[in-house]
Amino acid sequence: MALYQYFNGQILPLEERIFTSNDLGLIRGYGLFDFFRTYNGVPFRWDDYWERFENSARSLKLTLPIGKQEAYAVLLDLYARSEAPEVAFRFLLTGGIAADSVHVESPNMVIRTESLPVDHPQGRLQGIKVLPYSYVRDLPTIKTTNYVHMILMADEMKQQQASDLLFHKDGEVSELTRSNVFLVKEGRLITTDRHILYGITRKVVLELAQDLMDIEIRPIYLPEMLEADEVFTTSSTKWVMPIRQIGDTTIGQGAVGPYTRVLQERFEALLASWGKS
C-alpha cells in the first residue's frame, strides 16, 4: 500500500518531511486535527467531519487554505493512490510559521492517508476498563493536538490494564481522552453535552437510539455512572465500546449490556451498508 499526504496544495509521499522546527504547532502546540476513515471505499459522514473541522479552525482563528469540495477531491485522490480497500484520513491544521513565534501568518494544512487503526474486537465483546481522572480539557469543543494527560498516564494505564482515562472535574463527567461516554439506567440512555468534543460517532449513536429508548442529554456525575446498568464509549476507532470497569468498580454485571449490544449491532450494520445505496 502506497500512502501519500497533501501539504499546502502538494501531494507528497507520506514519509516526506514537511514541517520546519519553527511551526507554531511545534513550538506553541497551536494546532487542531480530525480523524476519520472510509467504509466500502467511501469517507464516513464527510459532511459532519468537515463541519466540525471548519468550526474548530474558526474557533482557533485559523484560516483554512482549502474549501470543502477541494478537500473532498483530495481525499478521493489520496484514496486512489493508496490502492487499498479502506484507509484512514488525518486532517492537521497548525498555526504555521510565525516571525515573532506568536502571531499566525499562514497556517499549514496537511491531509494524511494512514493505515486503519488496530481493531479491538475483544473490547467490543467483553468491555474495557478505564481510570477516573480529574481533568477537563481546555477548549473541549475543539479537537486540538494537545493530548498531554493521556501520554503522561500511559504507563499507569498499562500497569492497571486500563484502556483509557475517564475525565471528570468536581465529580462531573465529561468524556474519555478520545471518545464520548454514555450510560444506561433503567432503560434510559444518558449522555452529557458539557465540556466535550461533539463526536460524530456520538451523533450517529443518538440517531440510532431514538426509537430504542428514552434519551436524556444532561450533566452526568461520577457516582451515578458507577451505579449505571451499562456504560459505553463511542468514537471513530472504538465504534460502540462497552465499559465494564471504572477504576475498581465493576459496571452492572461486568458484561456487555443488552442496550449496548443492540446499539453495537445497529452501528455495525450502518457501517456495512455505508456508500452502497
- Out of 82, 114, 146, pick the residue that ends a domain: 114
Count of structural domains, the chain? 2
- Out of 114, 135, 153, pick the residue that ends a domain: 114
Whether residues 163 and 108 fall in one domain? no
pLDDT of 133 > 80? The answer is: yes
56-88 pLDDT, tens per residue? 999 999 999 999 999 999 999 999 999 999 999
Whether residues 242 and 176 fall in one domain? yes
Q: Return the CATH number at 169.
A: 3.20.10.10
Identify the domain containing residue 51 by its residue range. Answer: 4-114
pLDDT of 261 > 90? The answer is: yes
Q: Return the CATH number at 29.
A: 3.30.470.10
The mean predicted confidence, pLDDT, of the chain is 96
Q: What percent of the chain has pLDDT over 70?
A: 100
Burial 191-223 (b: 16+ CB within 10 A, else e): bbeebbbebbbbebbbebbeeebeeeeeebebe
pLDDT of 94 > 90? The answer is: yes
Question: Is there a contact between 93 and 109 (Cβ–Cβ < 8 Å)?
Answer: yes
> pTM of this prediction?
0.96
- Out of 85, 114, 143, pick the residue that ends a domain: 114
pLDDT confidence of residue 118: 84
- On the 0-12 / 13-18 / 19+ scale of CB atoms within 10 A, 276 is exposed
211-222 pLDDT, tens per residue? 999 999 999 999
Containing H/E element for 82? helix 68-82
